[in-house]
Structure 1
Amino acid sequence: MSRAFLFILDSVGIGGAPDADRFGDKGANTLCHVAAQTPLALPNLSSLGLGHAAQAASGHLPKGFTLETPLKGQWGFGVERSNGKDTPSGHWEIAGLPVVFDWGYFPKTVPCFPRSFTDALIARAELPGLIGNKHASGTDIIAEHGEAHMENAKPIIYTSADSVIQIAAHEETFGLDRLYEVCEVARELSYDLNVGRVIARPFVGADARDFTRTGNRKDYSIPPPSPTLLDRLSAAGRDVVSIGKIGDIYAHSGTGREIKAVGNDALFEATLEAMPGLRDGGLLLTNFVDFDMLYGHRRDPKGYGAALEAFDEQLPQALDRLQPGDLLVITADHGCDPTWRGSDHTRECVPILTFAPGMAPGSLGRRDGFADIGQTIAAHLGIAPLAAGKSWL
């Protein structure tokens, strides 16, 4: 029996989504635009075909890449079928469940949330009120309203282009458990709005000059409406290890043993520690969040590039832990071009890079749906086919 490993580089898109103009993202290209801003040295990802995938997806070879790099893996690119460019849509589709329904979103008005929702949240959570109530970058709105929040104990509430309600509060003056309680009420009240996630965004600091979001973020997601790859494996008694925010994204459905870690370095270390213990027939998946959270949304291409290089430098340690019969897939869930306008995700194709001991290099081509990844892993692990996707095995 074989094992599978799935590394999701959160937001590392490679441009070229055929419907990007529908999202206002025509021309966005996370990898190419990062490479144009800062020199990239990614020898290990390049050897798995990252440059080839980027060229095939968008018609543009990122600066510093070459198609002459000797390959040791198989590469392709995925075109998203889901209706949104948000995290749950990308992840669920990777796991064999494209999101073909429409999430609930909020208008770019101030206030942005329905009065019925905010009034009910204030009453049910026994709050003195709410501040913010608009589309915003998380770091910007905390800097704008954090000091007032510490004085009046009104949580900061905001949204983005995703189907999300984010609630920020100071860990010490407001309290972490209290923030979670408020988010649980918001989650219950927002089911009728078909909102994908409610996110608790705790922060610390004395004033706007040093406010910092902490690693105690917590996501309250809608459970996937149908079984995913993770559910199917768990139901079959297979080993599933979820590292990072995977558990939150899937509302802890089928996510098996969950390992929390903060930051890409800690996530990689946790992944390396867990790899040898994954049982035959099992799946280990890790979401490397820093690309998106620290650099994509904050529009920091140089930081994004440095994070890519750090991941690339660590990657051989994971490759060395693979055993005969194992399969590694490296992909992304959406784009978040740090040179693009605004601070939201960008609609892009994603790389699909695969490696297995003894694998012959080659092209997987264009995959019409991220669900091909989940279907391939299902085939590799020997479980019944998923409802969506086409295996390349």
Structure 2
Amino acid sequence: MARAIWLVLDSLGLGGAPDAVAYGDEGADTFGHIAAACAADARGPLRLPNLTRLGLPQAHALSVGAPAPGFENLPEPASLWGCMAERSSGKDTPSGHWESAGVVLETAFGLFDAPENTFPPELLDALVTRGRLPGVLGNCHASGTEIIARLGEEHIASGKPIVYTSADSVFQIAAHEEHFGLQRLLDLCVLARELLGPWNIGRVIARPFIGTARDGYVRTGNRRDYALEPPAPTLLDVARAAGREVVSVGKISDIFAARGVTRALKGNGHDALFDATLSAMAETGDGALIATNFVDFDSVYGHRRNALGYGVALEHFDARLPEVLAALRPHDLLVMSADHGCDPTWPGSDHTRERVPLLAFAPGIAGRALGRRDSFADLGQGIATHLGLARLAHGRCFLTETAP
């Protein structure tokens, strides 16, 4: 029996989403614009030999109809390669992951749209009262690094946590690990998750930080995401119900509200996430599912609109990818994808509605184009088929069914 290893390159969109105009994202292209920024810089074009061998730039060219700068002469990939469009409403982390695991959301998550005085007074009043807080700061749309730089000193002096959101379905709480307390912040986020039920907000995110106003504040690796539970069984649920090991690495467990996960591994930074993935590959038996989210692409580079930094991170990912390939057993399947876009050249600091890659590799596999798939759920259906699991509710198996 085989295993499946699913790597999510968080936010690595390929442009070209058919409905991007409805989200104000027509022309957004995370990979293409990163490649263009690198090619125009003194550092030179992106160097991704391993991802090119597995079809990433080829999938991008398929999505948008033209190669990215620096990828004009592309070899035939040694993998199954293509791109996928999202059917679920929205462009959120949970909806992208859940659809990839077989659950399509027909109704979008709720949003807090007002840039200032963003949250309903009854929500904040309940949070302050039940959380025994002196009040809150922020109450606005903001970038996480900007708002802690702006309000960190006042937060420490007043004891008031910083609450903020974005164009995504999130309620974020930032607090200093030492002055406010990490466990107190996590407990407050659990309370917020309960209180947000009527607003159907996808995630509550704990954003702990350390440092001083003089030296600067830095967010730590103790971030936690508190997501709504998926509304139907996912690939992870089906695998666990069948008695399989389901190992989550990074924030996968948080995104699925820990459902279907038999063991959760954490890691701060892409190297730690790679190391944890390799450990899971060394320890798991036949039939296991290992799923890893590489969050820094999104949180460190996409949201902070750092195209060159994103490019360097892709090159580092590419350089470590052979370690994963070497750890594959004869019948293992490696699948790589993304959950949405986050174009670092796009206005604002939010996710972008884009197609995403679908790359699959197994030792001895023959390369083949998968086409433009019309749902992320094709990924989950393919993994379910590979693992010999029951068919999921949505998706066409990319291993056996052609794109429509």
- TM category, shorter: over 0.9
**SS of 1:161 mapped into structure 2:** coil
Please say if residues 48 and 71 of structure 1, whose CA atoms lie closer than 8 Å, have aligned partners that are also in contact: yes
Cα distance, 1:48 vs structure 2: 0.8
How many Å separate the matches in 2 of 1:234 and 1:208?
49
Corresponding position of 1:139: 145
Match of 1:149 in 2: 155
Unaligned runs of 5+ in 1: none
CA distance in 2, matches of 1:208, 1:345: 32
- Counterpart of 1:11 in structure 2 is 11
Instruction: Output the CA distance in 2 between the equivalents of 1:309 and 1:107.
Output: 36
Whether the 8 Å contact between 2:88 and 2:108 is mirrored in structure 1 is no
Over residues 187-223 of structure 1, what are the superposed CA-to-partner deviations in whole Å (9 max), with x where a residue is unaligned?
Answer: 1110111111111100011116510000011111111
What secondary structure sits across from 1:352 in the alignment?
strand
Q: Which residue of 2 aligns with 1:263?
A: 269
Shift of 1:67: 4.2
The structure 2 residue matched to 1:302, chosen from 295, 299, 308, is 308
Task: Report 1:260-299 matches (<5 A).
Answer: 260-299=266-305
1:235 to 235, 238, 241: 241
CA distance, structure 2, for counterparts of residue 105 and residue 20 of structure 1: 18
Q: Give the superposition deviation at 1:384.
A: 1.1
- Whether the 8 Å contact between 1:180 and 1:200 is mirrored in structure 2 is yes
**5+ residue gaps, structure 2:** 39-44, 400-404
Does structure 1 residue 126 correspond to structure 2 residue 126? no
Distance 2:191 2:246 in 1: 30
Between the two proteins, the alignment pairs up a number of residues equal to: 393
Tell me which of 54, 59, 84 is aligned to 2:60.
54
1:70 to partner: Cα distance: 4.1
Counterpart secondary structure, 1:133: strand
Helix, strand or coil at the partner of 2:292: strand
Partner in structure 1 of residue 169 of structure 2: 163
Query: In the alignment, what sits opposite 1:324?
Result: 330
Q: Which residue of 1 aligns with 2:51?
A: 45
TM-score of the aligned structures, taking structure 1 as reference length: 0.98
Displacement after TM superposition at 1:45 (Å) = 0.4
In percent, how many aligned pairs have the same letter? 58
Q: Is the 8 A contact 1:232 1:254 kept in 2?
A: yes
CA contact (8 A) 1:146 1:208 kept: no
> 2:372 and 2:266 mapped to 1: Cα distance?
33
Matches within 5 A, 1:108-257: 108-207=114-213, 209-257=215-263
Spell out, residue by residue over 1:39-66, the C-alpha distance to the aligned partner (whole angstroms, 9 max, x if none). 2000100011111100110123111113
Secondary structure of the residue aligned to 1:117 is helix
Structure-2-length-normalised TM-score: 0.96
Aligned letter for 2:7? F
Structure 2 SS opposite 1:211: strand
Find the aligned partners of 1:281 and 1:14 in 2 and give their Cα distance: 31
1:267 is aligned with what amino acid?
L
Q: Which of the residues 382, 389, 392 maps onto 1:383?
A: 389
Among candidates 309, 320, 326, match of residue 314 of structure 1: 320
Distance (whole Å) between structure 1 residues aligned to residue 95 and residue 135 of structure 2 = 32
Q: Distance in 1 between matches of 2:3 and 2:382?
A: 12
